Amino acid sequence: MLWFHARLFGRNTYFSQLLVTSTLAILALQVLAAHANGVPDDEPIWVRSAIVGTWTVCTVAAGIVGFQRFQGTLVHLVMTPGSPTRTLLPLVGSAATFGLLSFPLAALTAAVFGYAPRISSWPALLAGAVALWGACLAVSAVVAAVFVLTPNAFTYQGLLGVPLILVSGVFGVPAGLPEPLLAVTYGVPTTAAVRLLLEQPSGPRFAWLVVLSLASTLLWFVASRSAMRRALDRARVTGTLEVI
């Protein structure tokens, strides 16, 4: 089901354009800044661009369930003999899955501009990519469950991109940030995944970041399940949420 929804997702011109423009726009800004400030060649420009591109595509999860309602297919996904959560999760997951295409796109484009990707640890890079996929899927599931309650989800989805990017530390962490506040940011699943991708660590640091990513991702999945159950109760029991 995930592969089916991902293929449909990729055929939508808007989603494809969003992937390309969000990834390449950040890449272009970083390349310009690198030329102006003399950033070292080993700066992970392509990784940052890929992370931003992936999450920007995932923000459409805010309105993807509502879009299915508009198309008239949501009722068939919800009114199934099995658990509606199992049928809706692949739908939401299609955004996170399709968003991973930003990694090869960013890598190839960065190489064209003379910033060939330098990978210090393949295990850390691959683990970071998987962790980012799971983190984005967990956050998207929560976002989809919450924003399905509003008809203006497509309007609000643009507000989701920047805050999570900043909290996750894609462009670094402000100097002098208190340790307790820094620790709180790891409650967002993408933070540990971003650190894995940017630092590509090994040893205890690698293991610790993997554990943090898994723990926070699982917590967000639990929250998404609870939020989705409440939304489904409104749709199937109280009748206060339309699915048609």
* Residue 244 in domain: no
* Residue 36 in domain: yes
Please say whether the beta carbons of 9 and 94 come within 8 A. Answer: yes
Task: Give me the number of domains the chain comprises.
Answer: 1
* Residue 126 in domain: yes
Q: What is the pTM of this model?
A: 0.89
Of 91, 87, 191, residue with least CA distance to 135: 191
* Residue 183 in domain: yes
**Per-residue pLDDT tens digits for 115-169:** 888 888 889 999 999 999 999 999 988 888 887 776 676 677 777 777 878 888 8
**Per-residue pLDDT tens digits for 213-237:** 999 999 999 998 888 888 777 766 6
**Per-residue pLDDT tens digits for 180-225:** 888 888 899 999 999 999 999 988 999 999 999 999 999 999 998 8
> pLDDT value at position 143?
86
* Residue 241 in domain: no
Strand (E) or helix (H) holding 56: helix 45-58
* Residue 200 in domain: yes
Gap between the Cα atoms of 216 and 131, Å rounded: 11
Q: Which domain holds residue 137?
A: 2-236
- Ranges of beta strands (E only) in the chain are none
